[in-house]
């Protein structure tokens, strides 16, 4: 089942009409999650607005109370870090808003908009530079590579939850 989901992601498949290959900057997708502190602090609208205004396309979004099992898999690469248990507890302490954004260089673009892992290293104008101070309450997650984006999207979303829709602003966003 996991392999089928990964194949769907790689092919850019979801429900709705298929778009031309060039659509939305080649269709790179990234996984973004507003973390429990971002939801509690009523930052969801602000953060979604930033990605929309940038010109990225929202293809999936849901409010999720993530299980510890899902979070342990999401953060499997960090399992030997001393903060791993605390991280899983924090991420399961309330709902998160899980999203998939699509567009030209979506992974790199979203990471640049988020800023550094440590808010103290994040410049003003980035999300972490503007909205948080502590590394353990850093408001938002964005995939760090195309490969991890594909894994994270298939972990958090079923293929039918990702919608390909006709973006009428596309000609104003891409050359």
- Binding residues for ligand CMP, rule CB under 6 A, total 7
Near ligand CMP in 56-115, by CB under 6 A: 83, 87
Q: What residues are paired with 63 via a beta bridge?
A: 97
Residue ranges at the known binding site for ATP: 35, 83, 111, 117, 128, 138
List 6, 48, 135, 173, residue binding ligand CMP (CB under 6 A): 135
Compare residues 29 and 141 and give the one whose CB is closer to ligand CMP.
Answer: 141
**CB of residue 141 to ligand CMP, shortest distance in Å:** 4
Q: Give the shortest CB-104-to-ligand CMP separation in angstroms.
A: 22
Q: Which is nearer to ligand CMP, 10 or 78 (CB)?
A: 78
How many CB atoms neighbour CB 70 within 10 A? 17
Q: Which stretch binds ligand CMP (CB under 6 A): 14-22, 48-56, 132-140, 145-153?
A: 132-140
Residue 141 annotated as catalytic: yes
Assign 150 to helix, strand or coil.
helix
- For tokens 């979801």, the residue is 14
Q: Does 24 bind ligand CMP (CB under 6 A)?
A: no
- Rounded CA-CA distance 107/161 in Å is 20
- Choices 8-16, 92-100, 104-112, 136-144 (CB under 6 A): range interacting with ligand CMP: 136-144
Hey, how many other C-beta atoms are within 10 angstroms of the C-beta on 68?
A: 12
Partners of 96 in beta bridges: 64
Whether 28 contacts 105, CB under 8 Å: yes
Cα 9-90-131 angle, rounded to 5 deg? 85
Q: Does 141 bind ligand CMP (CB under 6 A)?
A: yes
Q: Which one of the listed residues 74, 80, 141, 171 is annotated catalytic?
A: 141
φ, ψ for residue 145, nearest 5 deg: -160, 165
Q: Which two structure tokens, joined as six digits, stand for 148?
A: 């991890």
- Contacting residues toward ligand CMP, per CB under 6 A: 83, 87, 117, 135-136, 138, 141
Active site residues: 141
């Amino acid at each position: 089942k996991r392999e089928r989901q990964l194949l769907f992601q790689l092919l850019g498949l979801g429900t709705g009409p298929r778009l031309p290959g060039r659509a939305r900057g080649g269709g790179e997708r990234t996984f973004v999650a507003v973390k429990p502190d971002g939801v509690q602090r009523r930052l969801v609208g602000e953060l979604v607005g930033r990605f929309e205004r940038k010109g990225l396309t929202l293809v999936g979004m849901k409010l999720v109370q993530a299980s510890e099992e899902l979070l342990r898999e999401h953060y499997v690469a960090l399992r030997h870090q001393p903060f791993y248990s605390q991280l899983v507890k924090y991420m399961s302490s309330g709902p998160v808003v899980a999203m998939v954004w699509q567009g030209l260089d979506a992974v790199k673009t979203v990471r640049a908009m988020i800023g550094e892992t440590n808010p103290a290293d994040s410049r003003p104008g980035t999300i972490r530079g503007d909205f948080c101070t502590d590394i353990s309450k850093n408001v938002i997650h964005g995939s760090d590579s195309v490969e991890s984006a594909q894994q994270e999207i298939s972990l958090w979303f079923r293929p039918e939850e990702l919608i390909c829709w006709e973006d009428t602003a596309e000609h104003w966003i891409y050359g």
